[in-house]
Every structure is written in C-alpha cells, then in structure tokens.
Chains A and B, each alone.
Chain A
C-alpha cells in the first residue's frame, strides 16, 4: 500500500531513537552491573555477580528498597482513596461543572514538580504554615517535628503529586460505563450502593489497576521528594542510586540496583496488563 521509501522514512527514525537512547543505555547498564570498581577508583571489566550479592547482603540496600516499596504502596493506596471518589463524583454527579472540575484536577500537572515539593516544605516545616497554625490555636506547644523530613512527608507529597495520575485512568474507565447499565441495575431493584458495588466498581477495575500502577511505579522511582522532604529516615532507593552514580562513584553497584528496580517495575507492568485484560469487557 505504501512505497518502500515511505515505510523506511517513517520507521527508521523511531527505531534509531529507541536503539540509541534506550536499548544501548540499558545494554551498557547491564554490562556495568557485572563489573567492579578497583581501590584506585577505576572501573574494572571483571564480570562477576558481586554487585547483586551486595544488594542482598548489605542491609542498607535491601532495606531501603523495601522501604521504597512500602512508601510507594502507601502512595498508591492513598491516591486510590482520593482519586477514586473524585473520579466517581466527577463522572456521575458533577453535571455541568464536570469540565471545569476536570480542568482543576489537571492543572496541577502543569505546575513544576519542584514547586509543589517546595510548597509542602513550607507547609510542613517547623516554622511552616501548619506548625504555626497548630501553635496559634494551642493544639501543640512545640512544633511537630515528624511533619517534615520523614517518610510521612514523602508519602504526603507523592500522594499529592501522583493522585491526578491515578484519577485520570479511573475517570476514563468510569466515563466508559454505559449509563443504561446503571439504570438497568436500579430498574432491577438494586439500591445505589448495590449498584456501585455490583456494576460500577467491577467495570471500573481496569482504570483502578492502571491508576494504581501509575502511582506505585512513579513513586517507587522518585528521588526528589525524599531528597527535599524525606530526611535520613525518608531516604528511598533512587537517592542511593543517584549517590552511587555521583559522589560514591560506584557505577557498577548503581547499575545493579537500577536493573533490579527495572525487573520489579516491568513485572508489575506485565501483571497490571493481565489484570486489566481480565477485567475489560468492551
């Protein structure tokens, strides 16, 4: 149908792009992860599994990895708890205000991530808006110090940042539910609550799975929020990777940890794709 020349022009640039900027770097990372750093701070092409063994042996690495997953899991849960009711309300009850509210949910995505992270810093800090307010109304004598530089601050900030990403696929799934199914359910005697749990929620599961995956995967790899708001107890695995590629100058270990994360993320994506397929009916 299309000429050979046309096909070549259309397919070669993206293939080149993927090869140069994706496959080659991954391949390099893969190689690095089996190399090591000599005491003279030179990377040696030694081909061994020491980096992966370190990841499992040294508590700081696997514990941080586990803590990152625990933070990501909480962000996922809270984003769902916030994003689902919001999407449900917008899709089913917002009426004419739907488009306006939708824009209001989307607008924060246009605001720089850094600005939003710093905003939370100003709110949660010991001289911050929240602590000043709490002391002003005499709920506390001293500033609460668990608010900032803690896993709490990281979870809060990431939840704020990634809730729109959870909201969007859920909203799309809810918008796709034919409204006559809701009417049919009421018609057959189901109360609004029964209709929600037996019809609306099951049909929105693909959106929930997609939204949960977004929140978990994006938070798992985040390093700015823990850097700015996490403090020592809120450090995440990406902070360690950043320092290994920077100040610590241990690229091979950094590469090994990155690949381990990549395996986790890809497995999750495959799992979520299967779940979405299982629950989609269109």
Chain B
C-alpha cells in the first residue's frame, strides 16, 4: 500500500515540526453559563510558532474557549499557563492579541491610528510607533489606505487592518475568531493562503477558530476538534483525516462511510452478510466495532479478478447506483448495497461509472484502509 506509507511518513514529519516548546497550556478548563455547560474538562497544549485550529460546529464552545484565552470570559474551573498563570491576568496584561470576527476596528480612528492603538496605550515613543505602524501596514499591503476611516474600506481590507493592529504589538499568541467567515469564497481562499504564509513569516503562534473543516485542513499545523464542549481529537490535518479517533471526527472531517462490524477472536465480520469474515491486522477485543472507510478507498472491482477470490483482506460488495454528484475532478457516488447499507464512493470523474444511475456495479476495498473508530457518545 504505497499510498498509506506515504501518508504515515508525512505524519511523522508533521510531528517533528511540532517539537517546539509549549507556549500555552490549557488545563482542565470548564465553563458553565448558569446551568448551561459550554466547556467541560478541556486540556490542550499550544506550541511556540504553531498554527492550531479549534474546529467545531456552532455551539461546540470554540469561541468560548478562545474568549477564555483572551480573558473576556473566566473559566468556571481549570487553569491557563503561559510561563506564569495566565487566567488571573486581565485581558490588557496578557501578551495575547485577537482578530475579532467582525474585525472590531475603532470607527472614530483612521486605519493608521487603529494599528497604532496598542503601541500608543503602551506609551511607546512616537517615532517607534510611526515606524512599526508603517511596517505593519506594509506587511498587509494597506499603506495606501493609512489615512482612511474603517467605514471607507472593504471587508477584506478591514480584515488586513485588524491583523496588522494585532500583530504590531508582537504578541506571543494571536487568536483569530472566524476571521474569514464574512468574506466571499474567492477572497476567503486567497486570505487563507496569505494568512498561513504571514504566520510562517512572523513565527507567532496562531489559534484559529473556525467551523469550516476545509479551512482548518488547509491552514493548520494541528486541529483541535471540539464537540459539545469536549475535545474529540487533537492531531495534524493528515492524522485527523487518515486516523479519525471517533465516528464523529470521521464524519465531520470530509466524507466517510461508517461500517458496523463484529469482532470475534481476531476475526472481523463487517455488517455485510455476503462478505467473508476477515482476519484483521490489529488484535481486537470481542464485541461490536465501528470502522470509518473514506469514499476514495473504495473502487470498482477489477474486471479481471472479479468473481474469483483474491487475498482475504479485500472486501467485495455489489450494489446499485443511487445518486451521482459531480465535483470536478472527482465525483461522489452513492451506492445501495444489500442490507440497507449505503456506501459513498469517490471516483475520478473520467473513470468508471458514467451515466450509471441504477446501474449494478461491484465495489471493492482493502480492509487495511478501514480505520477503527470509537463510537461517539451522545452529549447534550
């Protein structure tokens, strides 16, 4: 399996790049608003210079966690450490700056004055302020608008000013609260790239909050996936995609097929009665188990080998095409298999099933591509 090997070596590389010392340590943080629990027992380490994304649906507690780091909310329990205890400091003493969701630029100040605000309240000398503000505006290509009021510039430009206003203070940690969500798709993709390269350039740790899993995958060194106030998995984008820890992670990040199975004596029977029991590489305790199988790991059964039994790690299943969705280079095909099992298959658009609605096809996948995942417990 050359593809899998390639992936695991990339994982190893990612892990190495995260060997930096810990900058911020979040320890057992919980937050209640009245009787409403928003965060429970969140522990997370953020390394120097890291781009970490807190990913989650709305209501998962991601913004609350960010606000606790910034100091706008107080955790009900737990601690924050950044060299010293951070959560006892008011927001204006923390060497943490925030890029707000709607930018929160001061409407009565010009772009230049907005960017210089942090330096002015810190009473830096005038010449230094002028120099650093000019540099920051140059870095985000906003020098031409230095004298404009925020209401006179576009959303994308406001976004850059907000970034410059935060970075000019040379924080140790930059928090970004869904900063791209107000931009349209094209500008958004462009800003993702710019933001990532800017982060590499300045070397400041970024904690980026988003609900957009694609954005998280593109930009992050690591993703922390929050679900109902608890961390579901913290890992590199590749790891979280290839080795999702739970069924929820597998479904939230990209498309997947969840397969019910039964393990007994190191042999697994996937919930397809027509399918032979499989000898599984890992030793499993007996009982029901759940597998995640990415759509791209399922392929049309090879015509030559079809019907004849191949090695026992290849699973074959027949089905009827239910639905085809064209995605450009690839297409997603929903296939109705026996026993009410529906498989989602990703195929190159050029190959395989063309105009195949209701067509009978045979699919196969390698058992090694199916990832064992934990059932995600119900949480309110």
Contacts and interface: CB of A to CB of B under 8 A. Distances in A.
Same complex for A and B? Answer yes
Interface of A: 178, 180-181, 183-191, 194, 198-199, 202-203, 279, 281-282
B237 interface: no
Contacts of A279: 108
A188 B108 contact: no
Interface string B102-144: 1011111000000001100110000000000000000000000
B100 A186 contact: no
Interface in B133-175: 149, 151, 165-166, 169
B72 A189 contact: no
18 contacts: A178-B102, A183-B72, A183-B100, A184-B98, A184-B100, A184-B104, A186-B90, A186-B92, A187-B70, A187-B71, A187-B96, A188-B121, A189-B121, A190-B92, A190-B121, A191-B92, A191-B121, A203-B108
B74 interface: no
Given A187-B98, A191-B92, A281-B149, A181 B122 contact: no
Contacts, number: 70
Given A183-B100, A188-B121, A194-B121, A203 B91 contact: no
A188 B169 contact: yes
Nearest to B102: A180
Contacts of A202: 108
B108 A189 contact: no
Interface of B: 70-72, 90-93, 96-98, 100-102, 104-108, 117-118, 121-122, 149, 151, 165-166, 169
Contacts of A189: 92-93, 118, 121-122, 169
Contact of A281 (B97, B102, B108, B169): B108
A3 B151 CA distance: 39
Nearest to B96: A187
Contacts of B104: 178, 180-181, 183-184
A205 to B, nearest CB: 9
A180 B101 CA distance: 9
- Classify the secondary structure of A's interface with B: helix
A123 B294 CA distance: 83
Given A180-B101, A187-B92, A189-B121, 18 more contacts: A178-B102, A178-B104, A180-B100, A180-B104, A183-B104, A184-B106, A186-B91, A187-B98, A187-B166, A188-B117, A188-B118, A188-B169, A189-B118, A190-B121, A203-B107, A203-B108, A281-B108, A281-B149
Would you list the 3 A-B pairs with minimal beta carbon distance, nearest first? A281-B107, A188-B118, A184-B104
A43 to B, nearest CB: 54
B114 to A, nearest CB: 9
Given A187-B97, A188-B169, A189-B92, A199 B71 contact: no
Contact of A188 (B71, B107, B149, B165): B165
Contacts of A203: 107-108
Given A183-B72, A187-B97, A190-B92, A199 B106 contact: yes
Contacts of B93: 189
Residue from B105, B107, B118 with most neighbouring chain A CB atoms (10 Å): B107
Contacts of A181: 104, 106-107
B100 A188 contact: no
Residue of B71, B72, B101, B166 with highest tally of chain A CB at under 10 A: B72
Contacts of B117: 185, 188, 190, 198
A116 B29 CA distance: 55
Contacts of A185: 106, 117, 121
A280 B231 CA distance: 44
A282 B151 CA distance: 8
Nearest to B118: A188
B108 A183 contact: no
Q: Which of B70, B104, B149 has the most CB of A within 10 A?
A: B104
A234 B373 CA distance: 86
A177 to B, nearest CB: 10
B349 to A, nearest CB: 45
A189 B71 CA distance: 12
